[in-house]
Chains A and B, each alone.
Chain A
Amino acid sequence: MDKDTTTIAETAAETMTGAQMVIRALKDQGVTHIFGYPGGAVLPIYDALFAAEGIIHVLVRHEQGAAHAAEGYARSTGKPGVVLVTSGPGATNAVTGLTDALMDSIPLVVLTGQVPTHLIGTDAFQECDTVGITRPCTKNNWLVKDVNDLSRVLHEAFQIATTGRPGPVVVDIPKDVQFQKGNYIGPGSVHHRTYRPRTDPDLNAITRAVEMMAAAKRPVFYTGGGIINSGPEASKLLRELVDLTGFPITSTLMGLGAFPASRPEWLGMLGMHGTYEANNAMHDCDLMICLGARFDDRCTGRISAFSPGSKKIHLDIDASQINKIVRADLPIVADATKALREMIRIWKSRKLKADKPALTAWWQQIDTWRAKNSLAFRNSDTIIKPQYAIDRLYELTRDRDVYVTTEVGQHQMWAAQRFKFEQPNRWMTSGGLGTMGYGLPAAVGVQMAHPDALVIDIGGEASVQMTMQEMSTAIQYDLPIKIFILNNEYMGMVRQWQELLHGGRYSHSYSEALPDFVKLAEAYGCVGLRATKPSELDAGIREMINVKKPVLFDVRVDPAENCFPMIPSGAAHNEMILAAIDDGPAITEAGKMLV
């Protein structure tokens, strides 16, 4: 048993109110931005915030927006996102964002107000069991009933949110505790009683891993969000490891940007809407090197047919991911940066070499899969194809400092397939939870952190309506976010599944009674643009970029387009549908025009 039960060194405690402690702790943790919404149970904290300097509070329009904005902020900076909301509905509105952050391992510190301690359990006005409700959707949470525990808990909250496998935490603070005076302690004197995330790799395992890599005939790197979460250094080391080995590399949705999409080793994303070459390489490899990914069902396809002939190395900072879905032949529990550093060091010091002849044959095989051109689509000069819209958006913004967020649906998958990321932290999307309404508030958070960058939310007309009130936030804080809507007048991803699996019965998936998005944008004070023909697209994108205001661009795209390639549910990696290019001789090479 761990004997280190030290909690607080009684050094230099200062006396202040609970509310003041909150502000002080945020400052001591280096917080510069918080996303919040006031209410009765957090008024003392808002009062302390009134006088505070050095912390920018972003007033959102819905607490779900606060959580997603904080996620965007966190994912694009590597710093924790901080949220401040009131009790009851304030807390429950934040639950979707908490769950989203838990699924995608995003560090969030969410502070909720609570009714005063003597009213807890009485069904008081705006009381809810916040710690009960958020227990399954946080990494940890606390109800602080004694003001003298508050600063310790706040510092522990930051430590737990940001270290190990990152995630959201909630600190629930009753109103009377916010008023009471107590002792404040700084972050340096807090040592958690039980929490010791393991980050150093076992060097024997690393040595075995590089030996397996040197012996591999058909290797593939399968990387995930863990590389991004580990910090930019991990992405650099990953590039170096690919340089050293020459192995092909694919990634999950969450891992995009860790490896440059322009490099020849890049196979594109894997999974349900991944490329033909990525999925077939996963299926046929003899060594899978999984780095910071968790064998999610969207990535693996039918598990009983998953990569049947391969040995698997699984690196994860969270031991519970090992053997959860797929048994690892070689598990490594460690932080990705540290593990990659050791892999490179040992690969070099032992003068290991990849099996060149085998690798050449493997690449030849991969090239035949690549030649299928699985992302090809049939373009049109009368109707805007959603793929074409993404391609033009990418081409016209690629020389800029771009951050992309998305909503959830077909547009998200097209963006993941076609937008080419060269750097980590540039791609913010809701992967694990698949939360429609994520992208717009996330863009607010990203733009707050990167005022001069070009921040684009690639959205669908249905998703965007879930959180579009945050346009008002964008106006208030002069955040020139770009909301690029692929408006297909359908919940396109739902429509696609209904077409493929439910006999084309489009039950409640038509986006009826759509608002006039241009007028809506204007009503908020944003700029509204629309394109209905391919010929209008480039000019619209240029104008969107050049306007120094929030812009909503309503791009009217083909309502019937489906997202391919696709592993149908229950199928294996080598059973992809390539419908868009497989439907016979009607499609000529010219018809498959790629931009």
Chain B
Amino acid sequence: MHDTKVKQSDVVERHTLTVLVDNEAGVLARVVGLFSGRGYNIESLTVAEVDAMARTSRISIVTSGTPAVIEQIEAQLRRLVPVHKVTNWTSQKGGIEREMALIKVAGTGEKRVEALRMADAFRARPVDTTHTSFVFEITGAPSKIDSFIELMRPLGLVEVSRTGVAAISRGPEQM
């Protein structure tokens, strides 16, 4: 009974949240402002309209914090007026998370061959090729993209563009 304070665990966890919002002016600023104003982290953010008829947009956010902070983030998001629904895929464990990245690698000779071989193993596709460079397109869980990038680093990694995580539930149900 002594441990009734919110800080029950100091372990910082990474969570993926999806926020379904009304697609009205300023709604993204509202969500992002909530994070900056209350000092929460945003590790990645993706947003796009998903239903033009219903005028809804889907915002996927990867954030990190202690369990108490994550609980507050969800509650604060639900409080925003234009928010329809908030889902935490990490605590629900029923979600699929995918991210896409474009990765530019420059080099010649053995390094170039090695890069292409690695890309094949990761099912990354070259979408632009010159004699001295590749741009690979790779899709997958963020951790897979992380490892691919690490492997490319010694092989001539030039730059990376990542979309941030999109998430959806498994099975037939809607979020």
Contacts and interface: CB of A to CB of B under 8 A. Distances in A.
Interface string B26-49: 100110010001000000000000
Contacts of B91: none
A309 interface: yes
A318 B20 CA distance: 20
B70 to A, nearest CB: 11
Contacts of B33: 135-136
A591 B2 CA distance: 42
Contacts of A160: 81
Contacts of A323: 6, 68, 71-72, 75
Contacts of A309: 1-2
A143 B72 CA distance: 28
B52 interface: no
B4 A310 contact: yes
B7 to A, nearest CB: 9
Interface in A408-439: none
Most-contacted residue by chain B among A139, A319, A323 (CB, 10 A): A323
Interface string B14-31: 000000101001100110
A540 B84 CA distance: 58
Nearest to A311: B1
A30 interface: no
Most-contacted residue by chain A among B4, B26, B71, B79 (CB, 10 A): B4
B5 A304 contact: yes
A2 B51 CA distance: 14
Interface in B104-142: none
Contact of A322 (B25, B75, B84): B75
Interface in A117-149: 131-132, 135-136, 139-141, 143
Nearest to B54: A5
A324 B75 CA distance: 9
Interface string B54-88: 10000000000000100110011011011111000
Nearest to A169: B81
Interface residues of B, number: 29
Contacts of B71: 323
Most-contacted residue by chain B among A132, A140, A141, A320 (CB, 10 A): A320
A306 B5 contact: yes
Interface residues of A, number: 35
A140 B76 CA distance: 13
Nearest to B175: A1
A2 B84 contact: yes
Interface string A297-321: 0000001101111111000001110
Contact of B22 (A135, A193, A303, A308): A193
Contact of B26 (A131, A311, A326): A131
A225 to B, nearest CB: 17
B85 A308 contact: no
A98 to B, nearest CB: 14
Given A132-B29, A194-B83, A323-B68, A303 B5 contact: yes
B6 A140 contact: no
A135 B76 CA distance: 14
Contact of B6 (A131, A310, A325, A329): A325
A327 interface: yes
A477 interface: no
B161 interface: no
A498 to B, nearest CB: 29
Most-contacted residue by chain B among A143, A194, A308, A311 (CB, 10 A): A194
A132 B1 CA distance: 44
Contacts of A306: 5
B8 interface: yes
A259 B120 CA distance: 73
Given A193-B84, A309-B1, A320-B78, 20 more contacts: A1-B85, A132-B26, A132-B29, A135-B26, A135-B30, A136-B37, A139-B81, A140-B82, A160-B81, A303-B5, A308-B4, A309-B2, A310-B1, A311-B1, A319-B75, A319-B78, A319-B79, A323-B71, A324-B75, A327-B4
Interface of B: 1-2, 4-6, 8, 20, 22, 25-26, 29-30, 33, 37, 54, 68, 71-72, 75-76, 78-79, 81-85, 174-175
15 contacts: A135-B29, A192-B81, A193-B22, A194-B22, A194-B83, A195-B81, A307-B4, A308-B2, A308-B4, A309-B2, A318-B79, A320-B72, A320-B79, A323-B75, A329-B4
